[in-house]
Structure 1
């Protein structure tokens, strides 16, 4: 089954290009034929010349980033985007969610829907759609939200996963919190699950784990793509009976988003290190899994410092990250020897869902992205509660003084729309706060 990716705005197109690059390189890296075939079926099809073509639609209101993404893909010599799978205009959305959602989205709906329809028709069986976007700007957030709404109307029974890149807390876009609140509130009604990467966290990974001195957006996007690839590449599930799962989005949503109030997913991967160090490093499953469990409990999204003891946390309740559901993905050598019982501990999860329903394990004996052993955790937990609360608070403080609200009302977004969005996200925050 195949996944159609819709890349929206500058961030969505740049991360999407890096993701396809990671997936293609990983699938070609001397892997087993069944693994490679499963990966290519999910994300690529072949054109008349035998070239691998990404199952993707590229959308932006300015052509520059799309042209760059298509050129980089073609220059890789491994894969490319479809020649007619993109749409752009000459004028952006001005970092304004309302401009993207109320103007550019409706104006270009028919063209975008036709592009998506053509990609879907290239699939023998559609596993679902993945929309990739940032929540800070105007096109990714505003047009992205509108297009997600169109996708839901066109494919009411298909799985839709939104991948969101959250902005730096001290970002350059003054209205980024408005855009983020409006995006999240609307997507919560449309998407089956929302997978989030925080720029601040990824930046720290680049700096502290990868030892990059001058961090670029490309460096950040590569880390996001690596983590996404580790989630989306083929793996064996408990029900796959020795055959790679063919429905990645369906399996992901079923494992993690079992309740409509809880759709926010975070992801972390270990180990992560400079590529020059991988060949000289060795890892054990007990060490990696112990470390990942500590990261889950302490809500640490990267390997850093010392962790408080679990006993101290359980006694004080301070900093404990309660989970609704967790998906653990193990890839690499001796994967069937890994003991994962620590993630089945009922104390990690909410009391109203059994640990058998809360914990899901995927495995693959194939190395991912040259790592001998790697562990990825996708978590529906309180991990995103603090950044979400900070975002809503910052937006509300601006809204209380009506700062920049006129820039939204002139495109058709009313103050009532803002209030509805705040109310919706306050309910989400309350729900995650009450996980116990």
Structure 2
């Protein structure tokens, strides 16, 4: 089944290019450490999901590119064409001459209705080229105006028009120090609207990705492209093909559906975080060896201690004892910043994958009391290595990982709102103060729900 990617705004288009490039490079990598037959099956499965063939034989990304300014889209189309490996399709992009000025309301209330028909027609054309549609993967930022405002609008229209197809939004969480003065407003409006129309929000924090670039990749002058390549690696490690549950010969056909089924058991909980291990520079990788026991021990501790990467893990954090009474468990959580999970998916790739022991992720103490570990934990595997790593593991977690950053961003937005700062920039495009209050109420409920796990 195929996934149609919608790239929105500068951020969405730049990340989208890196994602498709990473997927293509990995699927055509000669270092897959598996048989030729298995490698061909892996390539075919990747191609079905993310690419379609054109007459000249060059694979074409199943994607629609949208921005309100032409510069980034033109650069993205040019880079894909120059790669010589894959390309974007003709007539799959939409751009205008005027951006959204970092104003969510302008993207949502002005650009959205004005350009809805043109954008939805492009998406429909791409959908019609799929033999079978798994769903939509929507890449966007939540700090600016086009990605956030127009992105929220388009996601809602996709839900209206394709209600039975799954929508997953990949969202870039802004730097805590701030890129845009109104980023907290844009963020709460984006999140609250997506919570109503998307099946799941896959969130990457810029601060965390920046630390990975500095500490793990040893990059001195970190560019947006460096950040985007780390993001693309993490997304590829989740979305590239893995075996179906009952087979070591056939790859699963509906990755989005399987992901939602495993990770989103309740519509009130749809914020997903990604961790992967190992992640390092090519120079370091050449001198490194890994064991499944070591990788999974680190990944589990990253999960329970809320670590963003394998460096600086707090090994003092321990799961509360399952035998503790509820009050004791709650205080243990608070004291050690233990991260309670609703659901976890571990994706394992590489040599001797079937010998990997994931029992540590099945501990009932890791999960909320109203889900059994057998329902809360899943593992996907393939012997085919990913992106030159002999062994690698990714974790997609629906847990309390994002409660603190969400609570902080809601608090900052509320402080601005209570003093009426910059509200006029939104109300002049048709928004009302009631719209802000609705967003605050919804997100405060999300924080409370995750906090109660």
Length-normalised TM-score, structure 2: 0.94
Shift of 1:243: 1.2
Shift of 1:311: 4.5
Q: Distance in 2 between matches of 1:98 and 1:51?
A: 39
Shift of 1:172: 2.1
1:60 aligned partner: 67
Q: Distance in 1 between matches of 2:302 and 2:278?
A: 12
Q: Distance in 2 between matches of 1:258 and 1:356?
A: 13
Give the 3 Å change call, closer, same or farther, for CA 246–434 of structure 1 in structure 2: same
1:204 matched to 2:217? The reply is no
- 1:210-359 superposed matches below 5 A: 210-239=217-246, 242-311=249-318, 316-317=332-333, 318-359=336-377
SS of 2:202 mapped into structure 1: strand
Q: Which moved more, 1:212-221 or 1:231-240?
A: 231-240
- Work out which of the residue numbers 442, 445, 448 in structure 2 matches 1:424: 442
Q: Distance in 1 between matches of 2:234 and 2:312?
A: 21
1:130 aligned partner: 137
- 1:390-429 superposed matches below 5 A: 390-429=408-447
1:135-190 CA distance string (max 9 Å, x none): 00000000000000111111000010000000001122000000000000000010
Taking only aligned residues, the RMSD between alpha carbons, in angstroms, comes to 1.1
| Contact 1:313 1:319 survives alignment (8 Å) | no
SS of 1:50 mapped into structure 2: coil
The runs of at least 4 consecutive aligned structure 1 residues that moved more than 4 Å come to 310-315
| Contact 1:193 1:264 survives alignment (8 Å) | yes
- Work out which of the residue numbers 195, 199, 202 in structure 2 matches 1:195: 202
Q: Distance in 2 between matches of 1:241 and 1:193?
A: 28
1:367-401 CA distance string (max 9 Å, x none): 10100100100000000000000000000000000
| Contact 1:237 1:361 survives alignment (8 Å) | no
- Work out which of the residue numbers 40, 50, 72 in structure 1 matches 2:47: 40
- 1:350-389 superposed matches below 5 A: 350-389=368-407
Shift of 1:48: 1.3
SS of 1:362 mapped into structure 2: strand
Figure out how many residues of one structure are paired with residues of the other and give that number: 435
1:244-273 CA distance string (max 9 Å, x none): 001010011111011010000000110011
SS of 2:97 mapped into structure 1: coil
Q: Distance in 1 between matches of 2:96 and 2:247?
A: 44
1:26 aligned partner: 26
| Contact 1:232 1:248 survives alignment (8 Å) | yes
Q: Which moved more, 1:177-186 or 1:299-308?
A: 299-308
2:110 aligned partner: 103
Q: Distance in 1 between matches of 2:217 and 2:92?
A: 34
Q: Distance in 2 between matches of 1:140 and 1:394?
A: 21
Q: Distance in 1 between matches of 2:203 and 2:44?
A: 28
Q: Distance in 2 between matches of 1:105 and 1:362?
A: 38
